[in-house]
Amino acid sequence: MLAPARATLIACGVVTGVSALAGMAPLIAVAEISRRLLHGDADVRPIVAIALAALAVKQFGTFAAGVPTHPADIRVSSGIRRDLPGKLRRLPLDWFTDRDSGTAKKIVEDDVAALRQLIAHSVVEATAAAVPPVAATVYLLVADWRMALVSLLPLVTGLVAYQRAMAGAGTKYPEFMRWLTRLSGAAVEFVNGIAVVKAFGTPGAASRRFQEVSRGFAHFFLDWARATSTATVTAEILLSPPSMLVVTASAGGVLTAAGWLPVTGFIAFLVFGTVITAGLMTVMTAVHPLVTA
């Protein structure tokens, strides 16, 4: 299904990865400039020039990777839409009688529309968000592995909390999609039956099933949200840059005061520490269409 866009997605993913690495140069420049200034070397112009050049590469790479994915999405979506009528014509009538109009609408419209996020955005966004945390983690492990392990504590605890929040997603998400299908079918039936009910029916009869399905979906979704809200909020707090900054500043300050971590290393951890968790929630959001595709 994604064959017409596969080469484009791979190329755009590679370009995004390179541009994301180039975007790390200004952070490296900050750490290097602080190191030179603390050692009495005020000649930082070459570092600034390299950082600006890398930033330009990052911006150009982001543009070059983001533009081709949209024509690729159009090629895939238009091809699927052209093929769908022929496939539907070949289906037996039992397939339609066993399903409501919402199921057909989901296949013909909703599923095809969902490909737009997958092709045009998810691959590029996931790559752009995933590369900086990996690069920052490697950089900090090389700088000081003990401080790097301390800096990873919010990441580990946040992922544990997120895993707890998503523990029931394997069964809840298919049920969520079934509710959406029923809701879509009830909405189509409601709209199509308005004219008939206005002429021959009683007030409220047309919307009764739609209201019942809507209430059922609302109860299901509210119960699911209540069961996961505490763990989800905890994960988001632990994976937020402020939490990482608090841990890094506290642990780094203690190690620096004890003489186990140089000041330049402390500054590097303050600069790079927040990068580790900054893009993690973006990665999880962008990966969702890849998992459900």
Range in 33-47, 115-129, 220-234, 272-286 the model is least confident about: 272-286
Query: Quick one: 226 exposed, middle or buried, by C-beta within 10 A (0-12, 13-18, 19+)?
Result: exposed
On whether the 3-292 domain is CATH 1.10.1060.10, my answer is no
Q: Among 12-21, 77-86, 100-109, 204-213, whose mean pLDDT is lowest?
A: 100-109
**25-62 pLDDT tens trace:** 988 898 889 888 888 888 888 999 999 999 999 999 99
- The HSE-up count of residue 162 (CA atoms within 13 Å, CB side) is 17
Residue percentage of the chain with pLDDT more than 70: 90
- The radius of gyration computed from the CA coordinates of the chain, to the nearest angstrom, equals 26
Query: Of all helices (H) and strands (E), which one includes residue 119?
Result: none
Structure tokens at 169: 């997603």
Q: Domains of the chain: which residue ranges?
A: 3-292
Model-wide pTM > 0.85? no
Spatial distance between the Cα atoms of 244 and 237, rounded to a whole number of angstroms: 10
Contact 236, 164 (CB under 8 A): no
